[in-house]
Structure 1
Amino acid sequence: MFAITIFNLTDTFFVSRLGTEALAAMGFTFPVVMVIGSVTMGMAMGAGSVLARAMGRGDHHLMNRIATDGILLSILTVIVVSAVGILTMDPVFRALGATEETLPLVKQYMSIWYVGVIAFIMPPVGDSAMRAMGDMKRPLIVMLVCAVLNMILDPILIFGLFGFPAMGIAGAALATIISRAAGMVTTLAFIHFHYRLIDFRYNGISELLTSWKRILHVGVPAAAVRLFPQLLRAVLTSIAAAVGGVSAVAAIAAGSRIESFATIISMAVGIALIPVIGQNWGAGRLDRVDRARALLNRAAIGYGLLITAIAIPTAGALARIFTTDPDVILHTRWYLWIVLPGTIGLNLYNWTSEQLNAAGKPRWVVIINVVGTAAILIPFTVIGSRVGGFVGMLVGLCTGQWILGYTATRIGKRELEPTAPEPAPQAVPPAAV
């Protein structure tokens, strides 16, 4: 997660050198990119969950089929996302609040991004397969290489160094795609030549569909874990554009990148939970799962308090890394002061959802996300914006995250403690038994 965060920070930093409007344009692309990323990570989590439990049972045939068929599912997703994304750019980004000044910049970025989206969608599935095998090192190496390559390419393509044409914000998109493509090739090489997980034999459409059903049984709820927060992010961006204009949207673009760096450890923990919880749940060690759950709840609170304490005196300096515009700096400071305390609830909510997914209990994940986003987070955010504008919007979001985090922990305690019902009926769909 450190490599991914550095990747995003690099893009935002160099694009911010192009001015406030370019930074705001990045802010408008962020919700859409993250929605697609949520779908991608859902598939990755689904494949990883099934693989981890198959590994716990020693089912090597299932491991091969899930890895291979998961990649095929990601290719199908690429085709759909590319076509729909290119055809809907205008209405989608206008709905988010993009103006006549920022919309052309948004389209420059997303036109390239959609064409190369395969490099964004496929690697997480392969990385998840490696993590399910207990390998955290190789996915990290891949993303570090991608991050370094992106850091090199960004200034070259954005500003036109070494004889290359200056592409502006489109250069950031191209640098991202080239870097991700390098990671995609490396990831596929690892899972095929090192782990021998890719099986080129055709076993019939029935087995392919069964694999997809297994993946999506956990993958759809896992995508929902990430999708609903990104839909909330889209609402947040739209409200910010309405109440604060370009400066507020630019502040969200900068603030959210700083937030992602501040919460890097919590994101890494969320990813690492899949093999730990999945393998112990598959092996019947519910006592270990329960101890991990209790420890994670305490860690979520402690880590949230720590990053809040750091952000209070440093918010202004962090904002000035990305902009010299006083309005953007002011909005970014408010964002960090208010949103980072909300990560306490966000971590409780995210980590509980990951544990439930890893244990094959996606039904509760869907309930937490749908009800939490629709009945708590969005209403609190909207009401806050009407009462207090940009600052009120952030206060409403933070309050909603605390409430949702507490609710999620209560559900997690009931479903994951050793006295909870056995997981077997929920772990895989009936057709997979």
Structure 2
Amino acid sequence: MAIGVLALLGFQLVDSAFVARLGTAPLAAQSFTFPLSFLIIGVQVGMGIAIAALVSRALGAGETGRARRLGSLVLLVGTAVIALLVLALYFAQEPVFRRLGAETASLALIRDYWAPQLLAAWLGAALYFGYSLFRAHGNTRLPGSLMVLTSLVNLALDPLLIFGVGAWPGLGLPGAAWATVLAFGVGLLVLGVRLRGMHWLAGAGLLVEARRSIRPFLGIAGPAMVSQLMPPLAAMLAIAVVARLGEAEVAAWGLASRLETLSLMVVLAMTMSLPPWLGRCYGAGDWGQVHRLMRLALRVVVAWQLMLGMGLALASPWVAEALSGNPEVRDELAILIRFLLPSYAALGVCMLVVSAGNALGWPLRAMLMSAARLFVCYLPCLWAGAWIAGMSGLAVGAALGNLLAGLAAWQLLRRILASPRRSPAESS
């Protein structure tokens, strides 16, 4: 999964790097769309967390028939929900982007980019639901391989569709979105072929299963979706703060956001692969294994993120130069890398605790932890830093917010693991 996440997030960073060659204005326009793209991802991840937890618990308890019915339901309902969300975001685009601080010139660029980008988001959500089903059954190899495949297809298509080749003039900014559409389409074709031979889906008893599972599903998916939707909301508020500093700062922030998700590849891989394992332990009542898994995961996350963060911080001028040739954007991006990247060790701890909470029946605690991370620690520090010292202060404030959130999550996990072994649902 780490290899797959690296490939998937790498192609998003490559998208932004190619778009940066078009100029500051297209990169800033793309950056304005990130919070709404994260909104779609938040809904799909919340639903994926719930289905992975319920399917893995059913498999751990030996209920294979129920696991098949749950798999079918999430594919049908999930794609329909994301389709409705995509349509709503398309028709509401102008007032939403104006509120985020986009000027008329940026809106014109966004208008051509937004429709194919929303189509790509819907295809990506359908692909993610398929990944969730495979992960719930303990198969992380296929999702990881498909992430690599879609990334390679996107990487090959990006320069052709953005800049053109020969007599083909290229599409500019919309070309990045169409490359993603085609890449996800290839992934869905492969996923559909593999699912047909797995016998993980059922066509009968879906209505009865829906009535039976709606409450436990919403009990996990509701708080999980709220937890996942809070980062897009925070991203909207953050980019509104950054927009006051200037267009170059918005472009640098957009590149830093892409680099953030790429640098968190190990954490994201664990948040996808660890919960199904924890869910099976939950179903089997093996709490000793839960404790061992969490301790090991936390050690790996902190060690890896500190090593990666410090290395990138030391190399920040060269990394920024590679991602953006514009001197203004490059200098601002270097500042963000220098302060933010090492702080992701603490952010990784918080993300892991939230992910484990959803898998082990602590969805409300996980949701509250997400809210505290963003609205008590991160945003106030970011805003105060920007107010005091501009872009440098913003970078320091965001890093401090991540550190505070990581410490709070660590204290919460220590109390949970030290408590008597009782039903997590009872302790929520």
> TM tier, shorter chain?
over 0.9
Please tell me whether the aligned partners of residues 263 and 308 of structure 2 are also in contact (alpha carbons under 8 angstroms): yes
Please tell me whether the aligned partners of residues 368 and 408 of structure 1 are also in contact (alpha carbons under 8 angstroms): yes
Question: 1:287-366, aligned counterparts within 5 Å?
Answer: 287-366=288-367
In the alignment, structure 2 segments of 5+ residues that lack a partner are: none
Question: 1:31-430, aligned counterparts within 5 Å?
Answer: 31-161=35-165, 163-191=167-195, 193-201=196-204, 203-204=206-207, 206-243=208-245, 245-417=246-418, 419-423=420-424
Deviates more, 1:370-379 or 1:97-106: 370-379
Once the two structures are superposed, residues 344-400 of structure 1 have per-residue CA deviations (whole angstroms, 9 ceiling, x without a partner) of 221110000111111121010111122332222222221221112122122222112
Q: Percent identity?
A: 26
Distance apart, 1:317 and its partner CA = 1.0
The verdict on how the C-alpha distance between 1:77 and 1:295 changes in structure 2, with shifts beyond 3 A counting, is same
Distance apart, 1:230 and its partner CA = 2.5
The verdict on how the C-alpha distance between 1:227 and 1:78 changes in structure 2, with shifts beyond 3 A counting, is closer
Distance apart, 1:144 and its partner CA = 1.3
Please tell me whether the aligned partners of residues 44 and 126 of structure 1 are also in contact (alpha carbons under 8 angstroms): no
Task: Tell me the TM-score normalized by structure 2.
Answer: 0.94
Deviates more, 1:31-40 or 1:164-173: 164-173
Distance apart, 1:163 and its partner CA = 4.9
Question: 1:13-28, aligned counterparts within 5 Å?
Answer: 13-28=17-32
Q: Which amino acid aligns with 2:165?
A: L
Please tell me whether the aligned partners of residues 31 and 234 of structure 1 are also in contact (alpha carbons under 8 angstroms): yes
* Separation in 2, partners of 1:13, 1:147: 14
Deviates more, 1:300-309 or 1:14-23: 300-309
The verdict on how the C-alpha distance between 1:25 and 1:388 changes in structure 2, with shifts beyond 3 A counting, is same
SS in 1 for 2:104: coil
In the alignment, structure 1 segments of 5+ residues that lack a partner are: 428-433
Deviates more, 1:398-407 or 1:63-72: 398-407
Please tell me whether the aligned partners of residues 27 and 250 of structure 1 are also in contact (alpha carbons under 8 angstroms): yes
Distance apart, 1:75 and its partner CA = 2.1
SS in 2 for 1:321: helix
Number of residue-to-residue matches in the alignment: 424
Task: Tell me the TM-score normalized by structure 1.
Answer: 0.92
Q: Which amino acid aligns with 2:62?
A: G
The verdict on how the C-alpha distance between 1:425 and 1:194 changes in structure 2, with shifts beyond 3 A counting, is farther
* Separation in 2, partners of 1:90, 1:258: 27
SS in 1 for 2:244: helix
